[in-house]
A and B are shown apart, each in its own frame.
Chain A
Amino acid sequence: MNATSVRIVTLKIDDRELSAREDRTILEVARENQLDIPTLCHLDGLSSSGACRLCLVEITGIRRLLPACVTTVGEGMEVYTNTPRIQHYRKLILELLFSERNHVCSVCVSNGQCELQELARKLGVDHVHYPYLMPELPVDASNPRFVVDHNRCILCGRCTRACDEIEGAHTWDMRGRGIETRVITDFSDPWGASSTCTGCGKCVHVCPTGALSEKGRSVAEMVKHKHFMPYLTLMRKEQS
């Protein structure tokens, strides 16, 4: 992109006057200015999918709530990132996530390292008022180095994007619809039988919860390193 042709716009986020390039998203601009907007599916360095709906923000004059991760800033825009209405919906969305599968933090490899657990704390989810759906889901430990526990998966799609966009293997994808959606490797083969997986482990480290982990980790031992993603993207761009 030709940097010189990009306009600079001024806008307000949570009543703060800011200026930013017009091709930046609300999320990018907010975070650059130390305004925190919660996200689960978004990860710096990967494309945005707008799936988790936690980054929804209110924009004056627009009735619909819009996801900050894919909405670009505009001249004169007034954005509110933390109104009572948004807080209310964010809590309910998190509660829905907790009710969907078996998220038992106390026995999870990611306990204490988990983005879902941490967001619940931050947003004040102290209990889940929806009935737990409690599906019976498998754990695939066929890969020699990694494990996928579908009980902990929130279907954020980070693993699929990291594998496709950064590693270029596209081992991960989704199958099924609705509540039956699952992440899969290859054509829903066991991970250990995958012929496309390079074993790079990026999927494990971008996973926000304990769904993907390294083997041999016990409760609370799975520390993830996801901050190298933007560097990888940058380096790929420079190479090509």
Chain B
Amino acid sequence: MSKPRLASIWLDGCSGCHMSLIDLDDQLFALAEKVDVVFGPLVDTKEFPEGVDITLVEGAVSTDEDHEVIKLIRQRTKYLVALGDCAVTTNIPGMRNSSGTQEMLQGVYPEAPAWTDDLPKLQRALPLHAVVKVDVHLPGCPPPPEMFFAVIAALLEDRIPDVQNQVRFGM
């Protein structure tokens, strides 16, 4: 029997949540025994595969591409985990929402207005649950490593983990 399939993706975030995942250190071996990592920044697969059991999503939904990707992921995933504050609250990517995308782009690329045409089509940053159904919210910037393990373990048993009191927004 094949092992449960785990995927992860990094949308509009800083990769800190994935770093936190790596901070599991030697527990990573235990995790690797339980699941197959089938997609993610650490895996060289171009297309998001079908039949994924758990997908960890880091980052806010920010661009046209993000919208497309996350909808596909939702279709192909059993349990979707919003990983970290950017996915849960939009966090820092969401700070541009107050002043608007255009103003931010011009602030960042004042010298090369033509070049901005080739940038991803930025939209208002949205939390994951505003776009697709989310099964587990795991806030934190980043969430503590030990919570990854607990959440994945629970989902492998088809249990929605209760993260109350154990995580919070921010660090």
Contacts and interface: CB of A to CB of B under 8 A. Distances in A.
Chain A in direct contact with chain B (Cβ < 8 angstroms): yes
A160 interface: no
Contacts of A114: 170
Interface stretch (B40-48, B61-69, B91-99): B91-99
A121 B167 contact: yes
Contact of A124 (B90, B92, B164): B164
Interface in B115-158: 127, 129-130, 134, 137-139, 141
A17 to B, nearest CB: 29
Shortest 6 CB-CB distances between A and B: which pairs? A105-B170, A124-B164, A106-B141, A121-B168, A136-B98, A127-B137
A98 B139 CA distance: 14
Contacts of B89: 98, 104, 127-128, 132
B171 A126 contact: no
Main secondary structure of the interface of B (DSSP, over half): loop
A108 B171 CA distance: 10
A235 B4 CA distance: 65
Contacts of A107: 92
A33 B97 CA distance: 45
Contacts of A105: 85, 141, 168-171
Interface residues of A, number: 29
B7 interface: no
Interface string B64-95: 00000000000000000010010011111011
8 contacts: A104-B92, A105-B169, A117-B168, A118-B168, A126-B88, A127-B88, A128-B89, A135-B98
B163 interface: yes
B2 interface: no
A111 interface: yes
Contacts of A118: 168
Interface of A: 98, 102-108, 111-112, 114, 117-118, 120-122, 124, 126-129, 131-132, 134-137, 219-220
Contacts of A104: 85, 89, 91-92, 94-95
Nearest to A105: B170
Given A117-B169, A121-B167, A220-B171, A127 B129 contact: yes
B171 A131 contact: no
B86 to A, nearest CB: 9
Contact of A126 (B130, B139, B141, B170): B139
Contacts of B165: 121-122, 124
Contacts of A129: 129
Nearest to B140: A106
B97 A106 contact: no
A111 B168 CA distance: 10
Contact of A132 (B90, B99, B167): B90
A106 B170 contact: yes
Given A112-B170, A117-B170, 16 more contacts: A102-B94, A105-B169, A105-B171, A106-B85, A106-B169, A108-B170, A111-B170, A117-B168, A121-B169, A124-B164, A126-B167, A127-B89, A127-B134, A127-B139, A129-B129, A137-B98
Nearest to A124: B164
A111 B141 CA distance: 11
Nearest to A123: B164
Contacts of B138: 126
Contacts of B94: 102, 104, 132, 134
